Structure 1
Amino acid sequence: MKRKAQKIKMLEKNMTDKTDQDQDFWTIGRKPVQEILFAKPEQVDLVYIQNDVRSRALERIVDICKSQKVRFRMVSAGELQRIHSGNHQGALARIFQPGFTNMGAVLEQVTKAPLPLVLALDQVQDPGNLGTLARTMVALGGAGMILPKNRTAFPGTVAAKAGAGALNKLPIAHVTNLARSLDYCREQGFTVYGCAVDAEGENMFRMIPAYPSILVLGNEDKGIRPNVLKRCDHKIFIPMPGIMQSLNVAQAGAIALGMFAKTRDEMA
């Protein structure tokens, strides 16, 4: 349990922007945080609130987070200062990048994109993988990405660096429940493909995909969650005849996306 807690703590540390260079990702101060929670709650990823200060303003922020269904975390003064050294007054809101939108807007992009495919990431937690996959999607003409709000890498500076600007060019939607979102996608005529970590299902090099498509990639360690995998119309895998029998999610995603792009080009 102790090792697991340490691993989770390190993940949270890596997912948190720690320097003042990341000003675009933060709203700081009690009043500014309240204002963005009221005006644009969908743009707020997570609110940090100092837990050792008695303040009606901070209590109000907690109430707003609950009513707007925005995640918040109570932290010590030292932890808050480590996250951001500005004059935060006990309140910080971590903000999504400008390219984020709702799922409907992402799905609409399939009518315009060269590759009518949306990439859904199921709790991918490494921001470098997130950025690399976004870059691959932009390069191949993909329509957009869907990310769950919880337990997902934050698209901050690490992801932005790996993406080389792709995060600003690709429509990305955050959803509360990925499984239900995939149900909705299927109702809208999308075929959902889940990229499995084992050799079960269909060999992706031999299949002919249907479009528009959703490609689901799973967590770096656990793969796609069972409840999400149930929503996939097809379970596909990458054949690996070589001595290496594993790929990280960014590598697997690049291969799968390349396969979809190739078959789409052949069908055109």
Structure 2
Amino acid sequence: MNKKQITSPQNNVIKNIKELQKKKSARKSEGLFVIEGIRGVKEIPSHVKIKYLITTSEVDEKELGAVKAEERLEVSKEIYKSISDTQSPQGAMAVAYMPTYDLVHFNIEAGHYLVLENLQDPGNLGTIIRTAHAFDFKGVFITKGSVDLYSPKVVRSTMSSLFHVPIVIEEEIDTYMDFLKQKGVTLYTTALIPGAKPIYDVTFEEKVAIIIGNEGNGVSERVKEASDHTVIIPMPGAAESLNAAIATSICMYEITRQCQKGD
């Protein structure tokens, strides 16, 4: 496909990409988001539709692999820098259509799931999704009011894992819990409350969801009441708490370890 040269920073496509980088409302209304960097673009799976592939003349497109786009655009270094969200732009980005998952069509199978309630830090969310991919979790459910899954920092932090884990967004916590319980999934949450068991003393079922709460406040009272079980991560040291991404990763590891040991 021939590349179209864009030389003006006032070009409508350039303005559109700036909006997509900065505003959740623009990403949501258009169903588009940005993936930056040579590795990020190269690792976009073939089933993901790409609207624009934008590069500078300095980029060797062989490094981008077999990625296909509806339009290929070439811009100057200056224009690329104006639309980049990174401190050290690599001269390659893609504007892709958001993967779409909803509860109506979500297939629950035996396996492990993750529910994130009101998570706010982009780095935490990206790391958690990457870890969920590594431990073969079958789906992630992110509540309304959480950090935007498709914000540039989250997308970079996932290292392309967001393309490999089914992720449902923008539903209330009650909706997710009701859906999972109807599908026979046992709900676990993490909270420092009486009766909570150390996570390594729990035997996890075939269908399990772990619910993780907000970085500062943890899970809501509603989650504590409605969950089937509550677990804690024992900490023999003096630290008061763990980072949300670290705590979630420990939970995912322990669930996976048990199941692999059982096999």
Q: Which residue of 2 aligns with 1:230?
A: 225
Q: Which runs of 5+ in 2 are unaligned?
A: 1-16, 34-81, 84-94
- Which of 107, 112, 115 is 1:117 aligned to? 112
Distance 1:105 1:247, change over 3 A: farther
Provide the C-alpha distance between the structure 2 equivalents of 1:211 and 1:20, rounded to a whole number of angstroms.
Answer: 44
Output one character per residue of 1:223-253: Cα deviation in whole Å (capped at 9) or x when no partner.
Answer: 0011122221001110001122310110000
Q: Which residue of 1 aligns with 2:161?
A: 166
In the TM superposition, what is the alpha-carbon distance from 1:197 to its structure 2 partner?
Answer: 4.5
Q: Which residue of 2 aligns with 1:101?
A: 101
Provide the C-alpha distance between the structure 1 equivalents of 2:240 and 2:24, rounded to a whole number of angstroms.
Answer: 41
* TM superposition outliers: structure 1 runs of 4+ over 6 Å: 24-27
Q: What CA RMSD, in Å, does the superposition of the two structures yield over aligned residues?
A: 3.1
Q: Which residue of 2 aligns with 1:153?
A: 147
Whether the 8 Å contact between 1:205 and 1:259 is mirrored in structure 2 is: yes
TM-score scaled to structure 2, two decimals?
0.63
After superposition, where does 1:35-114 map in structure 2 within 5 Å? 98-108=98-108, 110-111=109-110
Q: What percent identity do the matched residue pairs reach?
A: 23
Whether the 8 Å contact between 2:20 and 2:32 is mirrored in structure 1 is: no
In the TM superposition, what is the alpha-carbon distance from 1:24 to its structure 2 partner?
Answer: 11
Give 1 or 2: higher helix fraction: 1
SS in 1 for 2:142: strand
Provide the C-alpha distance between the structure 1 equivalents of 2:129 and 2:118, rounded to a whole number of angstroms.
Answer: 15
In the TM superposition, what is the alpha-carbon distance from 1:180 to its structure 2 partner?
Answer: 3.0
SS in 1 for 2:127: helix
Q: Which runs of 5+ in 1 are unaligned?
A: 1-18, 37-42, 46-83, 86-94
Provide the C-alpha distance between the structure 1 equivalents of 2:107 and 2:239, rounded to a whole number of angstroms.
Answer: 36
Distance 1:117 1:24, change over 3 A: farther
SS in 2 for 1:205: helix
